[in-house]
Amino acid sequence: MKKTTFGVIVGNRGFFPDVLAKEGRKDILDTLKKSGYGTVALSMQDTKYGAVETFTDAKTCAALFAKNAENIDGIVVTLPNFGDEKGVAETIKRSELNVPILIQAEPDAPGKMKMGARRDSFCGKISVCNNLKQAGIPFTLTKAHTVKVKSAEFLNELDDFAAVCRIIKGLKNARFGAIGSRPTAFNTVRYSEKLLEFSGIAVETVDLYEILGKVDALKDSDRGVRNKLNAIKRYVTTKAIPKAAILKMAKFGYVVDRWIKDNQIDGTAIQCWTALEEFFGIVPCTLMSMMSDSLMPSACEVDITGLLGMYILQLASGTPSALLDWNNNFGNERNKCIVFHCSNLPRSFFKRSKMDFQEIIAGAVGKENTFGTVVGRIAPKKATFCRTTTDDVAGLISAYVGEGEFTNDKLDTFGGYGIIKIPNLQALMQYVCKMGFEHHVPLNMCQKADAVAEALDTYMGWEVYRHR
Domain with residues 5-171, CATH architecture: 3-Layer(aba) Sandwich (3.40)
CATH node for 174-466: 3.40.275.10
**In a structure prediction context, what are the per-residue pLDDT tens digits for the chain, which is 468 residues long?**
689 999 999 999 877 778 999 999 999 999 999 999 999 999 999 999 999 999 999 999 999 999 999 999 999 999 999 999 999 999 999 999 999 999 999 999 998 878 777 899 999 999 999 999 999 999 999 999 999 999 999 999 999 999 999 999 999 999 999 999 998 888 999 999 999 999 999 999 999 999 999 999 999 999 999 999 999 999 999 998 999 999 999 999 999 999 999 999 999 999 988 889 999 999 999 999 999 999 999 999 999 999 999 999 999 999 999 999 999 999 999 999 999 999 999 999 999 999 999 999 998 899 999 999 999 999 999 999 999 999 999 999 999 999 999 999 999 999 999 999 999 999 999 999 999 999 999 999 999 999 999 999 999 999 999 999
DSSP strand pairing (101-105 vs 74-79):
parallel
Give CA–CA dist 89/48, Å, rounded: 18
Give pLDDT, residue 118.
87
Give pLDDT, residue 112.
85
Helix (H) / strand (E) element for 401: namely strand 396-406
Give pLDDT, residue 286.
97
Q: What is the pTM of this model?
A: 0.97
Give pLDDT, residue 113.
76
CA pseudo-torsion sign 350, 353, 357, 360: negative
Give pLDDT, residue 369.
94
Give tens-digit pLDDT for 326-348.
999 999 999 999 999 999 999 99
Give tens-digit pLDDT for 145-195.
999 999 999 999 999 999 999 999 999 999 999 999 998 888 999 999 999
Residue 345: HSE in the Cβ half-sphere, 13 Å Cα cutoff: 31
Give pLDDT, residue 6.
98
**Domain locations in the chain as residue ranges:** 5-171, 174-466
Give CA–CA dist 258/260, Å, rounded: 5
Distances (CA, A) of 90 to 60, 85, 86, 100, 127: 11, 9, 6, 16, 13
Give pLDDT, residue 355.
97
CA pseudo-torsion sign 46, 49, 52, 55: negative
